[in-house]
Structure 1
């Protein structure tokens, strides 16, 4: 990667209160680019929620919508970032968000049937985590978290091998929990890394806000899914223990 020589320059820096008032390290064009990215991200998350709602009405989520999400995302990435292609790429981003929402619809519908409040808590929790770590990346010294790229890629590879191995050896409760919590930590790390990578790329003239939005959208969805599963699992265990207590009393 062409930025590799400069990735480690900020690793020894310390966060301090003054950084809350200082965005001088981020140039005005880059700040405008970030505003565009996060505005588009908000619209993309909203479209994904519409996709979830469509699934609850029509039950369309599944392998087909997952493949459509991959197809739309791949098509978007393969389409050159030019002014002439901007609307087309925005439409592909919107289609990808709708398909991803429909794909998540099965999980969300299951949780809604169990306890609707969990979905809202998971969304608010995901938003808070995403916002906090985005803020940390924006306020940190430039390139401070870019060293995470290699670590995150290695962890992602290990998780992929674990999931592949589970096809042959099965997946126990312990391995499920490892994958769940490790995956949450992994994508929180990607929020830090991707945010600073977007800043660095924009500083070098890459203002492809649509691609950058897609990167952050995938991070957000990955965090949301894992928090949703964690909250549902914990609520289920709590309910099971409560039933056992009642049986012992009777």
Structure 2
């Protein structure tokens, strides 16, 4: 028997039989909105880098936070759908602008850091998302408590490091934060599925969850790659 004669059944590969048809349609909307957010955030980041708007970072940060609060406060229904989509696009744009200073810093070190970090983030996000989608339902929801505890420890370590100024603690913080954000991709993806199965079809807010996971992973990778590149230059 020639194993090379076997064909791949792509229909079976992308078949999620444990997820209902309505939830699969919901996920299509979530990831479609996510793609729009990525495009708009990239445009915002590019505009910031080109026009040097990073000096207004505090104002754009407040704007992004305000849009998020407004989005939460606005109920999800057909009448408000277009308005909430506008809020989502504005939030993604301001989030991209807020990445400007970090992108500028990484670009000054080595421009290749940015595409490397993006490809790394996209690969990580895709792998963990597919793991959550293919896994048995609710199998990763137990991570919620561990992830929230991890975030609390990260906050405490940041407060401590504000006084001790330890490079080792800062580096450990970055890698632990990256692992926690990867865990949130698993957790949030399965939580979205369970919410959709229970009747919560707010794909706009579910998109925000995944978008923030992606941005946080991207930010951590940018800092880690930037630090490593700096260390290489110092050794030379």
Would you say 1:138 and 2:136 are equivalent positions? no
Per the alignment, residue 101 of structure 2 pairs with 106
Q: Distance in 1 between matches of 2:14 and 2:212?
A: 30
| Change in CA separation of 1:46 and 1:22 when aligned onto 2, cut-off 3 Å | closer
Per the TM alignment, residue 141 of structure 1 is displaced from its structure 2 partner at its CA by: 0.1
Q: Does 1:81 align with 2:76?
A: yes
Report the alpha carbon displacement of residue 58 of structure 1 after superposing the two structures with TM: 2.6
From 107, 115, 121, give the equivalent of 1:120: 115
**Counterpart for residue 59 of structure 1:** 52
On the 8 A contact 2:161/2:170 being kept in 1, the answer is: no
Tell me which stretches of 4 or more aligned residues in structure 1 moved more than 3 Å.
Answer: 19-22
Contact 2:128 2:182 in 1 (8 A): yes
Number of positions where the alignment pairs a residue of Structure 1 with one of Structure 2: 223
Structure 1 stretch displaced more, 179-188 or 113-122: 113-122
Q: Aligned-pair distance for 1:128?
A: 0.4
Q: Does 1:183 align with 2:177?
A: yes
Query: What residue ranges of structure 2 are gaps of 5+ in the alignment?
Result: 1-11
Alignment TM-score, normalising by the size of structure 2: 0.91
Shift of 1:34: 0.6
Gaps of 5+ in 1: 1-18, 243-250
Indicate the SS of the match to 2:137: coil
Listed one character per residue, the Cα deviations across residues 51-107 of structure 1 (whole Å, up to 9, x for unaligned) are 111112332231111111111111111110011111111111111111111111011
**Aligned partners of 2:84 and 2:123: how far apart in 1?**
28
8 Å Cα contact 1:20-1:139 kept in structure 2: no
Aligned to 2:235, which of 229, 241, 244?
Answer: 241
Deviates more, 1:74-83 or 1:109-118: 109-118
> What is the Cα deviation at residue 166 of structure 1?
3.0
What is the CA–CA distance in structure 2 between the aligned matches of 1:22 and 1:36, rounded to whole Å?
17
Q: Deviations over 1:35-59 (max 9, x none)?
A: 1111110110111111111112332
